[in-house]
Amino acid sequence: MPSDGDKRPSERPEYNVYRSRRGFFSRFRKPTLDSLKQKERSRSGAGQRAPREQPEVPYPVYRQTAPPDDRPDPRKRSRRRRPWLKWILFAVIGWFALSVAAFAVSAQIQSMKLDGDAKTALDGNPWLLPWSNAVGTQTMYCSDCHGSDVVSPASVIPNGGENGEPWGPHGSNNNFILKGAWNNNSATLCFKCHDRNVYSPVNDTRKDDRTTGFCCRSGDQLHWYHWNKITGSSPAQLLKCNWCHAAVPHGWKNKALLVNLNDVGPEAGQAGNAEWRMGAGAQAYNQEPYYLNAKLKVLTFAASGSWTDANCGSRGSGTVFGPNTNNANTGKDWMKDVCSNPP
């Protein structure tokens, strides 16, 4: 039987020992005897740390800070530490692209909701300079309507142009320091921005290529249509804005600043949803500051370009007020009875 010496290899096997750094939680572990001895040596050295005794071993020892050549380089490994960052970047780019595509599809769908006549009419521009430029992107300021008198009947730009008289409320012969006349007999101020030829033509010429959202009965521009029916196409007669729109256009509860005598509320001292009685063309509602010879009664608010006579007329039910007899018709019948010869 061979002796124990024959079982042992003649030489020690080659292997390396690496020491790792202390982990974060190792400081909370229960101290060992070796660690306590090390602390005691540090104190006895009067502030000088005692050199650590290195055990003699018959093989090479490498520290983590100096890896051998055959170990992976940690600098190369750091380049692959956060592969998830690229996936987050891909997700953000994909979300942005999807949002842009969804917006484009939504805009296309909305543009297709108008019928052909309405879309053609709405492509027109009923404004005067400077409002006819970049329609929908401009901001109106107080000084556009309030300020010194402006001689031009079709402009709010001060006399002398941009570099002429100063902008601002320095004085005016009109009430409320307005740049033009504004009362129940004149709409001069409105037609400094809105083209009169679209709303109240100087001759019986329809401006189908320059119209508003109030259309499109058989392709007609309905401002022109009402002017033709009410005034008899007389160039001396104007379509009064305050018949259908709020007298103070600073803001309003209905779209397009439209009054609605089917729904008079706290703005006129009513509890709300009250209908003003009206039965004849000469009758109109007045209540400062918003109602000035108001005539319009709206049953249903239509989308721009989709107005018909069925949208207007008396509600015929609910709370009513006023001294007149109420005409409860709707549509053309109501208009014939209460819109002829308005004040």
DSSP codes, 152-204: -TT--SPTTSTTSSPPS-S--SSGGGBSS--BTTB-TTGGGTB-HHHHS-SSS
In a domain, 18, yes or no: no
Length of the chain: 343
Closest CA to 256 of 201, 306, 313: 306
In a domain, 304, yes or no: yes
What is the extent of the structural domain holding 247? 240-343
Contact 123, 114 (CB under 8 A): no
In a domain, 96, yes or no: no
Give Cβ neighbours of residue 325 (< 8 Å, ≥ 6 apart).
Answer: 277, 279
Strands (E), the chain: 17-19, 61-63, 275-276, 285-287, 291-294, 320-321
d(CA 298, CA 307): 11
In a domain, 235, yes or no: no
Joined tokens for residue 72: 């992976």
Contact 276, 335 (CB under 8 A): no
Give Cβ neighbours of residue 88 (< 8 Å, ≥ 6 apart).
Answer: none
d(CA 254, CA 213): 15
Say what the pLDDT of residue 332 is.
92
Say what the pLDDT of residue 325 is.
94
In a domain, 71, yes or no: no
Contact 309, 339 (CB under 8 A): no
Joined tokens for residue 220: 């007609």
In a domain, 117, yes or no: no
Say what the pLDDT of residue 122 is.
45
d(CA 146, CA 155): 13
d(CA 148, CA 158): 7
Closest CA to 252 of 240, 236, 263, 239: 263
Q: Taking the chain (343 residues) in consecutive chunks of 10 residues, what is each chunk's mean pLDDT?
A: 54 65 62 68 58 61 55 54 76 87 70 46 68 83 84 77 72 84 80 83 61 73 83 72 91 94 94 91 93 95 90 90 94 92 85
134: left (phi over 0), alpha (psi -120 to 50) or beta: left
User: How many structural domains are present in the chain?
Assistant: 1
In a domain, 332, yes or no: yes
Joined tokens for residue 219: 């392709």
In a domain, 251, yes or no: yes
Q: Helix (H, G, I), strand (E, B), or coil: what is residue 50?
A: coil
